[in-house]
Structure 1
Amino acid sequence: MGASLSSLTESESTAANGGRPSLGDIPENCVACVFMYLTPPEICNLARLNRAFRGAASSDSVWDSKLPVNYHQLLDVLPQRENYECVRKKDIFAALSRGVAFDDGNKEVWLDRISGRICMSISTKAMLITSGEDRRHWNWFPTEESRFHVVAYCQQVWWFEVSGSVKFPFPPDIYTLTFRVHLGKFHKRLGRRVCNFEHTHGWDLGPVRYELFTSDGQHSVSEYSIHDSDQDDASAYLKRGGNWIEYKVGEFIVSSSDPATEVRFSMKQIDCTHSKGGLCVDSVSITPSDLKARKRKGVGVSTYQ
């Protein structure tokens, strides 16, 4: 069977294969119809088989089915948009899946390479931080662990509040919004990652409140205590490994990309009876809800990819 399959894939035509049928005999338009049901990585792998498969893998009809319905609106955020007016849909998909930064590089949107659905990340640099300009309370440090290569570090505050917003033509879908945070401050020492919890305090005295609002009236509220051992023992895991975790704020539904959906979000702990500090805030992510598995109660350990 292996030899038979090899002859099918290696031969371009029946004549070249001694009269036996081969994959090269399948009409390109038929291959394109099959490709519409496959994922982009599967299509790219099959394109290596023969000329017909390569031609089908470059077909606009195939890649049009992989792009969001409103991909023309997404092109508006691309620098030099005019360069994409006459290119193949395959190249447009490739450009969008690599990620496109906008809003001075503080926000990034990309297509999931498997499903072709929209994902977004928003840097803390694009958010409003209470007392964020006071270096006694907040500062910034560079790191390769962030998509934006910089994170905000809360040294010590009484009023903790981080908020932001984004207005974007999200394609119809159900989205989950999360905050990505890190307990303690990390750095490299002799090539090893080391976490410092010297200034980490106050988070066990009250929960952090997360909220989101959308322009069409949707509202979601969540509260988590970073030191709550009931959340899959998340705090103990953090103190041992010093990992990033994502706190789920909530979900929102987009039924139409016109008009664009505005999403406002916040993370706060404004109980001024005690101070708190020693927390890094990296970004907010907006992702189709079924693309990423979440831990119970919305808390999941994560790494930057």
Structure 2
Amino acid sequence: MDSLPEDCVSKILSYTSPPDACRFSMVSSTMRSAADSDLLWQSFFPSDYRHILSRALFPHTLDSSSYKHLFYSLCHPLLLDGGNMSFKLDKSSGKKSYILSARQLSITWSTDPLYWCWKTVPESRFREVAELRMVSWLEIRGKIGTRVLTANTWYAVYLIMKVSHREYGLDRVACEVSVAVGEKVQSGRVYLCEKEEKKGKKERVLNMEEEVIGVATRREDGWMEVKVGEFFSGHNEEEVTVSLMEVSYPLKGGLIVEGIEVRPKRHHS
């Protein structure tokens, strides 16, 4: 490999992955030069990265001294579209993920202060989150086009949320969830809580009906997430519709919605 021209080595390394390129840079000085080259790291970027950068709320926070530095800057959340969407790259694959803020979602009755309130919380990446005061009809929907995602990739969809100290009713019944891409629909049921008894119930229902996806789990950023479903992003441009609904009589309150995340799956069986 040391006898090959640098641009040739960079081209070969472009068929690997960002972590592999970093490992190759430790082999020799020739490999280091090729593995750190802009030619190589630009190949790990999505084709629409310039358009994504043009939508950044704070572009000055990105390290653009090289394509390698810019790549790893984009592996951290970047606010887009006036701060209503978050974007980042997966550092192991360069695949794209997005978080739609609560303001980009369709939340039934969210404009009525009797049922929902919009507030600022310091731990959120977005300017506002939606807090449920009291409803019997809980319905949250979100949409994203596959054209903005990485093609030929399995994605998982999560509701990012918390429960306040005034929470009630969220652990009584499961929510109906679905992810639809074209005519393909995946549906199931989830609990918007983290209680151990619901985890046990989840396991029993999984064995009997195989329809409960899960319960809320803790994230590294301090929020909670509950998996809504998954889908495959192919080459065709389609719309992905995400839905969460619980419309039975019991009143519910204390749910804090930050957004919906669409992120690539690491493994799929």
Identical-residue share of aligned pairs (%): 26
Measure the CA separation in 1 of the matches of 2:229 and 2:98.
Answer: 15
- Could you tell me which of 149, 152, 169 is aligned with 1:202? 169
Distance 1:80 1:125 in 2: 17
Counterpart for residue 52 of structure 2? 77
1:217 & 1:236 partners in 2: Cα distance? 28
Amino acid at match of 2:234: S
For 1:223-234, list aligned pairs within 5 A: 223-225=189-191, 226=193, 228-230=198-200, 231=202
Check 1:40–1:277 CA distance in 2 against 1; reply closer, same or farther (3 A cut): same
- Are 1:181 and 2:161 counterparts? yes
Larger Rg: 1
Partner of 1:143: 121
Amino acid at match of 1:176: A
Task: Give the Cα–Cα distance (whole angstroms) in 2 for the partners of residues 75 and 237 of structure 1.
Answer: 34
Q: How many residues align?
A: 240
Tell me the CA shift for residue 153 of structure 1: 1.2
Alpha carbons of 1:245 and 1:58: their partners in 2 closer, same or farther (altered >3 Å)?
same
Aligned mates of 2:175, 2:69 — CA distance in 1: 43
- The aligned residue for residue 75 of structure 2 is 97
Render the CA deviation track for 1:202-242: whole Å, top value 9, x for unaligned.
Answer: 2233211112222x32211121233524147x98998xxxx
CA shift, 1:255, in A, is 1.5
CA contact (8 A) 1:28 1:52 kept: no
1:145 partner letter: E
Q: Deviations over 1:149-168 (max 9, x none)?
A: 53221121121112121224
1:247 aligns with 2:226: yes
**Residue pair 1:220, 1:249 contacting (<8 A) in 2 also:** no
8 Å Cα contact 1:40/1:114 also seen in 2: yes
2:154–2:231 Cα contact (<8 Å) kept = yes
Amino acid across the alignment from 1:209 = E
Output the CA distance in 2 between the equivalents of 1:124 and 1:76.
Answer: 23
Match of 2:94 in 1: 116
- Compute the TM-score of the two structures, normalised by the length of structure 2: 0.72
Q: Which has the higher contact order (CA 8 A, sep 6+)?
A: 2
Name the aligned partner's letter for residue 127 of structure 1. Answer: L
Summarize the Cα distance change of 1:73–1:270 in structure 2 as closer, same or farther, 3 Å threshold: same
**Separation in 1 of the partners of 2:38 and 2:199?**
52
1:129 aligned to 103, 107, 110, which one?
107
**Contact (CA 8 Å) 2:215, 2:226: kept in 1 or not?**
no
What are the ranges of 5 or more consecutive residues in structure 2 without an aligned counterpart?
A: 57-64, 204-213
CA distance in 2 between counterparts of 1:151 and 1:119 reads 20
Question: SS where residue 104 of structure 1 aligns?
Answer: helix
Aligned: 1:278 with 2:267: no
Tell me the secondary structure at the aligned position of residue 113 of structure 1.
Answer: coil
Mark the CA change 1:210 to 1:103 in structure 2 (over 3 Å): closer, same or farther.
farther
The two structures, once aligned, show a CA RMSD in angstroms of: 3.5
Asked if structure 2 preserves the Cα contact closer than 8 Å seen for 1:229 and 1:236, the reply is: no
Match of 1:222 in 2: 188
